[in-house]
Structure 1
């Protein structure tokens, strides 16, 4: 299968190929940037990964909304397939009419391309069309599967929220409200779960954030409650639920690109470390925090809806990330500073300044083939009509003599006819 024919099928792959290449460049730049910022805070690295994922998510929209800057790095030929093998049902009559005319004229239906290649170009184009349709359907199917899983997770979270109990009588509610006020969080709901699938503190919601504590929280010590509540409130303060949803959407759009999954995984790890840094910055000793985190992870149970809910919510102790988090918590040299509003705006502006020029870049261009070349590429070159052989020229003198002899014979015949008619008329009279 030739890649150039794959791009010439009825499904235009240029927008998908363009977005994939640009997304790879953006995510690669984010990876390099986070490598440079390896000695910075986790919040700074999380900002870089989040900005990159949001940028690749809105990249197709920005590319269509702004003027294009055409840089012909890759030129593809776009030929018009008009061969009889690629005609639709409406063009069958025209094809048969043309064939009949060629038969009456005695002209061969095969052009140079078919004579030399045996008609391989149309069949190869049809195979490329089939592969293009298959790949496009595969991409759509993968994106729909991931988005469906995210939607099911959101529905499961809403259903789980309705099964939770109000925390109005919880002993830890005054502490939770005090910590939310200290962090500048105004609108938040605290609930208590009795469902077996929620065995650890969780947070979800964007417009109306909710923090759910497990039933065992009523028997926790004040120090443990403070650590747990600070971590979950850090997610709410940083709007991690929103960025988590956007990262999932970016993975759905670019699910064939391994860099998208890597970026989402790194963003998730840096998000948890940033929340850990906030807890430590509030005065919690690192050793105590690490011990409490280990206990919560050890007591964690796996319920029926845990994996589904995890796609649309934020749990405190993810075992797959626990080792890296513990090492960062116990490392006193790790910077714990969060991001100010000014630094967040500067980082967002830098991502925007990178996105706009890249979105306007158009490296793929089509070169329109001439009509004759298009016919040749389609395997139906115009028939070569051979003119009838010219009659040999007659010498001028011979032609003149023949004309004079014909004229004399005609005049002689006319004279004899007139004379005989006159004699017969006189005799009868």
Structure 2
């Protein structure tokens, strides 16, 4: 990989980090606005909305970088004020200084991302090492009864494990892990807990949570990402509570079961556990209908939420700011991602045209006569165009940024 390619990727990285910081704040404000607007909406709709905002936080900076690359790769070659060769020497010092800073930022980002992923790997290892054994026949019959008769789905496998509360694991095949204490719960409470876990299974929450955690590793530096993820977890638990109630669970039984398990936490956040993070007291109050409000959002809340969402999308236009940075276009042209450029020039002897990519002359035309490839000789940045008798007719210097310099022909 050439120096210019590394420098260009480093410049894109800095732009991407800046876009992530700005757009993260806008996306977070957008969620706060929609959270107020959708207070009376269904838990499923609120959960989807929270997931969309978290996905936007991950996707928008990448799209902005794509817009930036598209913009600078289509910028024309700006004529230098002096010799392009001398100008290149001056620019190289600036490129190296910027590259050192960008590499430092990239190193810190990678260290933080790997640390976050290592935490995820530790949780997965804890799940793999859990000692599990077959669940009692009574619990298995209850799971089959609830899955087929209430949720309309195939019953997942169920095992006893040393866990604090029921939880769902499994990337390809869902498994519900339950503690020994579940056997001693009243039937209504046990059914309520199992219906909640079946809701996680039906919605494939384990896979979605894993994908969100991986995205969070890339955005570990942004407080808005962690805050949005906590909101996603809270809305996910509320949604599964609502689905359990819709399919036959008793609100009082589910609340009692949650309170019985409140003294313990699930060992792995990766699992879909009923005691996941979130406002536990608010969940209990919601189940029991305590403090429920029937009011509607303020009249101006929806336009504000729409405006914040639109502002988050308009921030994509930040990629177009690349037009103001000519050095960015220079790096793009000199990098592996650089486009093929057509250069038309003329002097007292007439005009000539070149097709150049990354400082390499691909084709040349002198006057109206295209030159055969063997009549274009290039050694480093020096290019010589030959006539039919293999005599030099034009000597040029070509920089990696596809700029040219030549002695005028008489």
- Which range, TM-score by smaller chain? 0.5 to 0.7
Q: Is the 8 A contact 1:18 1:364 kept in 2?
A: no
Q: Is residue 331 of structure 1 aligned with residue 289 of structure 2? A: yes
Aligned equivalent of 1:280, options 241, 245, 268: 245
**Where in structure 2 are the equivalents of 1:23-102 lying within 5 Å?**
23-59=24-60, 62=63, 82-83=89-90
CA distance in 1, matches of 2:181, 2:167: 13
User: 1:191 aligns to what SS in structure 2?
Assistant: strand
Rounded Cα–Cα distance in structure 1 between residues aligned with 2:310 and 2:241: 31
RMSD of aligned residue pairs (Cα, Å): 3.7
Give, in angstroms, the shift of residue 237 of structure 1.
1.4
Gap regions ≥5 residues in structure 2: 1-6, 73-77, 294-308, 328-410
Q: Distance in 1 between matches of 2:315 and 2:325?
A: 22
Unaligned runs of 5+ in 1: 1-7, 72-76, 88-121, 336-351, 370-429
Asked whether 1:178 is paired with 2:145, we answer yes
Q: Are residue 247 (structure 1) and residue 212 (structure 2) matched? A: yes
State the TM-score, normalizing by the size of structure 2: 0.61
Q: 1:301 deviation in Å?
A: 6.4
Give the CA deviation at 1:283.
4.0
CA contact (8 A) 2:20 2:61 kept: yes
Report whether the alignment pairs 1:154 with 2:155: no
- Structure 1 contact 250–260 (Cα < 8 Å) conserved: no
- Partner of 2:279, secondary structure, is helix
Contact 2:174 2:201 in 1 (8 A): yes
1:297–1:318: 8 Å Cα contact kept in structure 2?
A: no
Contact 1:191-1:211 within 8 A present in 2 as well: yes
C-alpha distance 235-334 of structure 1, shift in aligned 2 (>3 A): farther
Query: Residues of 2 paired with 1:175 and 1:264: CA distance?
Result: 33
SS in 2 for 1:362: helix
Q: 1:267 corresponds to which residue?
A: 232
**Which residue does 1:92 correspond to in 2?**
none
Q: 1:185 to 1:61 in 2, by over 3 A?
A: farther
Provide the C-alpha distance between the structure 2 equivalents of 1:244 and 1:62, rounded to a whole number of angstroms.
23
Q: In structure 2, what is the equivalent of residue 289 of structure 1?
A: 254
Q: How many residues align?
A: 291
- Judged with a 3 Å threshold, the aligned counterparts in structure 2 of structure 1 residues 166 and 358 are, in CA distance, closer, same or farther, namely farther
Which range moved further: 280-289 or 183-192?
A: 280-289
How far apart are the structure 2 equivalents of 1:301 and 1:32? 31
Task: Quote how far apart the aligned CAs of 1:63 are.
Answer: 5.5
Q: 1:32 to 1:178 in 2, by over 3 A?
A: same
* Structure 1 residues 259 and 362, CA gap change in structure 2 (3 angstroms): same
What is the correspondence of 1:88-127 to structure 2 with a 5 Å cutoff? none
Q: Is the contact between residue 159 and residue 177 of structure 2 (CA under 8 Å) also seen in structure 1?
A: yes
Aligned with residue 364 of structure 1, among 304, 314, 321: 321
- Cα distance change, pair 301–178 in 1 and its aligned pair in 2 (3 A): same
Distance in 1, matches of 2:185 and 2:39, equals: 36
2:141 counterpart of 1:142: no
Give the match for residue 160 of structure 2: 192
* Greater Rg by CA: 1
Structure-2 change in CA distance of 1:289 and 1:51 (3 Å): same
Question: More strand per residue: 1 or 2?
Answer: 2
Following TM superposition, by how much is the alpha carbon of 1:27 offset from its aligned partner in structure 2, in angstroms? Answer: 3.9
1:216 pairs, out of 149, 163, 181, with 181
The correspondence for 1:321, drawn from 276, 279, 303, is: 279
Deviations 1:163-200 (A, max 9, x none): 21122x4311111111111212226211111x3xx121
Q: Which residue does 2:363 correspond to in 1?
A: none
How much does 1:258 deviate? 1.2
- Aligned-pair distance for 1:253? 1.4
Please give the alpha-carbon distance, in whole angstroms, between the structure 2 residues aligned to 1:253 and 1:367.
Answer: 27
Separation in 1, partners of 2:151, 2:233: 22
Measure how far apart 1:358 and its partner are.
6.3
TM-score under structure 1 length normalisation: 0.58
Structure possessing the higher relative contact order (Cα contacts under 8 Å, 6 or more residues apart) = 1
Q: Is the CA contact (8 Å cut-off) linking 2:165 and 2:179 kept in structure 1?
A: yes
- Quote the residue 1:426 is aligned against: none
CA contact (8 A) 2:192 2:253 kept: no
